[in-house]
Amino acid sequence: MRLIVCQGLLLAGAKNRYGVRLLETKITDDKSQFAVVSIAELGVAQPAFDFTNQLTAFAGKPPLKRHQRVAAELINDVLFQPSIETRFLLGIVAIETLCAPSKQKKEGNSKCCQRVIQRYLNNTTADSFAKLYTKRNDFAHEGFGKGVLDREASEARQIATELLLAQI
């Protein structure tokens, strides 16, 4: 049950631009208790009843695959990062995580992700990702973009969220 609730919180939070920080407390070796210790909000979110309705809908979905769960956690964690660069990189890594199971031999991450995004979303979003990935490379390998990746961080998180929701 707790897995379903945690999964629902992550998915409803991603869709509504909330981040949920969970605290796990061990009761016994095989039982844990979770508490929501903080909620971060990005921009204007939907009313609380919409969030509750979506939480209920997402809690009814089958369990996420491992890579989807990791991506959902990364999308969630974006909202708790003070650094623009960290938010940007977490968004890109969430997208890569969602695309990893589809990677073909000798295919680069960017090409694989573009192909997966085209399949689940559309060509325009895949093109946007390609531009973001170029900026990721510029930042990670050359140090370009420090302090100016705020829009890109938001866009990467949005693409990751849309891709996750399209896959489930």
State pLDDT tens for residues 103-155: 998 999 999 999 999 999 999 999 999 999 999 999 999 989 988 999 999 99
Does residue 52 surpass a pLDDT of 80? no
Q: Which of 63, 83, 116 is the last residue of a domain?
A: 63
Which residues is 39 bridged to in the sheet? 20
CA dihedral 147, 153, 154, 156 (to 10 degrees): 160
CB of 121 closer than 8 Å to CB of 166: yes
Domain that holds residue 119: 64-168
Confidence band, pLDDT 50/70/90 cuts, at residue 37 = very low
What single string gives the DSSP state of each residue in the chain?
-HHHHHHHHHHHHHHHTEEEEEEEEEEETTEEEEEEEEEEE-SS---HHHHHHHHHHHHTSPPPPHHHHHHHHHHHHHTT---HHHHHHHHHHHHHHHHGGGPPTT--HHHHHHHHHHHHS-HHHHHHHHHHHHHHHIIIII-TTTT--HHHHHHHHHHHHHHHHHH-
CB atoms within 10 A of CB 25: 9
Tell me what pLDDT residue 24 has: 56
CB of 145 closer than 8 Å to CB of 138: yes
Higher pLDDT pick, 17 / 47:
17
User: 72 and 50 share a domain?
Assistant: no
User: 49 and 85 share a domain?
Assistant: no
User: 51 and 96 share a domain?
Assistant: no
Q: What is the residue-averaged pLDDT of the chain?
A: 82
User: 10 and 71 share a domain?
Assistant: no
User: 131 and 50 share a domain?
Assistant: no
